[in-house]
Amino acid sequence: MEWVKDQIAKENVGEQVRLIDCRFVLGQPEIGKQDYRKEHLPGAFHFDLDQDLASSVQTHGGRHPLPDLEKFAELLGETGIDDTLTVVAYDDQGGMMASRLWWMLHYLGHPKVYVMDGGFSQWKGNGYPVTRELPAPVKKRTFRIRLQRDAVVPMEEVKAKLGKAGTVLIDSREEKRYLGIEEPIDRVAGHIPGAVNYFWKESLNPEGFWKTVDEQKKRFQDLNPADEVIVYCGSGVSACPNILALKQAGFPNVRLYAGSWSDWITYPENPVANGKEQ
């Protein structure tokens, strides 16, 4: 956060760093954009989860399918982002939405992307500058896709690896949803058989900041870093902060099941644990 504040103070910050406001409230899709228009970090552009970081819902693919990658690359270019620019994403949801952008940029081969620790409320609470002024148009750049295909796992591969040694499946939702006790969003409760539960918010400390490397390592101490780790959640969004935390903890082979639970249950033949219709 201090680094971001220092960058904003520089006259040529827009030539080196691009700030992206990712605020979005699930179930209230207009709130994030409204909050952005009221105030945001100086120079920040806004990316919307539904409109920019996901595509429309189909029969399969989950509630937040990945967007058309060519269109997303075009959006990045229009925002002045290419492989020379550092991207800093922030939100006000504990890093969940910002981590989605972090993961997507890594998936497209752009490693110079970070999530601002603490988020918007912490930033404003520190008395750091905010504005309602929209950023000036920037010079369009060309974003070159260098797709990291191994970063994502299709449903068929997840199913084929259930119970196989060398692969760990992580469910990132809160425990009540994982156990099938309650399911406020999807039509079926429960989890993918064999998955272990690591709620994504456990990536944060009680003050809402990201845990240290040692704390993340302790959190995942029951997992083997040599294993392949496949992470999912409800729709492929809150899995992303867990992927960030796993990478921070030194796990080299971490992949996203992008469709996640909301995709898994669209295949009637797929097994579920603790499953029940809602």
Is 240 known to be catalytic?
A: no
- List of residues 6+ apart from 233 with CB closer than 8 A: 171, 172, 173, 200, 239, 242, 260, 261
Distance CA 172, CA 256 (A): 11
Which of 233, 245, 258, 265 does the annotation list as catalytic?
233
Q: Residue 191 pairs with which residues in a beta bridge?
A: 273
Contact by Cβ (8 Å): 256, 235:
no
- List of residues 6+ apart from 71 with CB closer than 8 A: none
Distances (CA, A) of 188 to 59, 180, 253, 277: 15, 8, 29, 5
What's CA 222's distance to the chain center, in Å?
Answer: 23
Identify the burial level of 59 via C-beta atoms within 10 angstroms of its C-beta, where 0-12 means exposed, 13-18 middle and 19 or more buried: exposed
Helix %, strand %, coil % of the chain (to 5): 30, 15, 55
Number of Cα atoms under 13 Å in the Cβ half of residue 56 = 1
Token output for 97: 């939405």
What is the set of active-site residues? 233
